[in-house]
Amino acid sequence: MTERIYSTDSYAAEMTASVVRSDPDDGRIMLDRTVFYPGGGGQPCDIGELWIGDDRLTVTRVDQDAAGVWHWVEGGMPAVGTALDGKVDWDRRYLLMRTHTAMHALCGVIWERFQSPVTGGNMNPGEGRLDFELPQWDPEDKAPIEAELNRQLALNRDVEVSFLPRSEADLDPSLIRTKVNLLPPSLQEVRVIDIVGLDRQADGGTHVNATDEVGQIRVKKVESKGKGFRRIRLELTTPTAP
């Protein structure tokens, strides 16, 4: 029921929309269209505000179910049919886009060097972690991986979004960079994020258009997560987009 504007235009920060469902018991509304990312793939959901005329509601959380995208609001509970304007907290969201693209670039760099799958990951604005099955890791690898990642980002590779029919996506196992295929069997269309020439994978998140928007990163820490598994922590060292 919800048109997911963020899925094709990650730079859209504002929208007009109307309420299609209202759930006062839970303090949430579903909208017919939204720029708010509901979270997933390690990227946290957006927060922001909705305006009904001069009345401001705060969006404290966003999530999705099979029906559409739910927005938890404070400051009032608009009825079905209400028209409103929405605006995400753009500084936070843009930092998450830069962070998310950095994480995919790390996937690409680790894949090129070790052919290691991802076993988990998470991010916050400006920092994140990815877990890899990485039995070959040596502490000496940290500096060259960081250097290679920064080199790749500085090449200013394009980041492209496309959609593949499920049947086609299933023929390309390299699209699934996680060790376990997390795509629900019911999914008919697979969204693909391609850092052209570096990393291509199925993903629902929001990304920047080109890798130089990420700026520079630092590999903060590499931790052992059991035999053969490593957790790599990254942070963006360029506070705002270069």
Indicate whether 121 belongs to the interface with Zn ion (CB under 5 A): no
CA dihedral 119, 124, 126, 131 (to 10 degrees): -10
Would you count residue 48 as binding Zn ion (CB under 5 A)?
Answer: no
Helix, coil or strand: residue 39: coil
Q: Name the minimum Å distance from CB 72 to Zn ion.
A: 24
* The binder of Zn ion chosen from 203, 206, 232, 234 (CB under 5 A): 203
Compare residues 41 and 78 and give the one whose CB is closer to Zn ion.
41
Per CB under 5 A, 205 contacts Zn ion: yes
| Cα gap 205→62, rounded to integer Å | 14
- Start-to-end Cα distance in the chain: 37
Would you say the C-alpha torsion 79, 85, 88, 89 has a positive or negative sign? Answer: negative
Residue holding tokens 């960079």?
177
Give Cβ neighbours of residue 115 (< 8 Å, ≥ 6 apart).
Answer: none
Only segment of 26-34, 38-46, 56-64, 175-183 that touches Zn ion (CB under 5 A): 38-46
Report how many residues bind Zn ion under the rule CB under 5 A: 3
Stretch that binds Zn ion, among 11-19, 20-28, 166-174, 202-210 (CB under 5 A): 202-210
44 lies in the site for Zn ion, by CB under 5 A: no
Stretch that binds Zn ion, among 6-14, 109-117, 174-182, 198-206 (CB under 5 A): 198-206
Exactly one of 38, 41, 44, 108 binds Zn ion (CB under 5 A); that residue is: 41
Is residue 232 packed enough to be buried (19+ CB in 10 Å), middle (13-18) or exposed (0-12)? buried
Where on the chain is the footprint of Zn ion (CB under 5 A)? 41, 203, 205
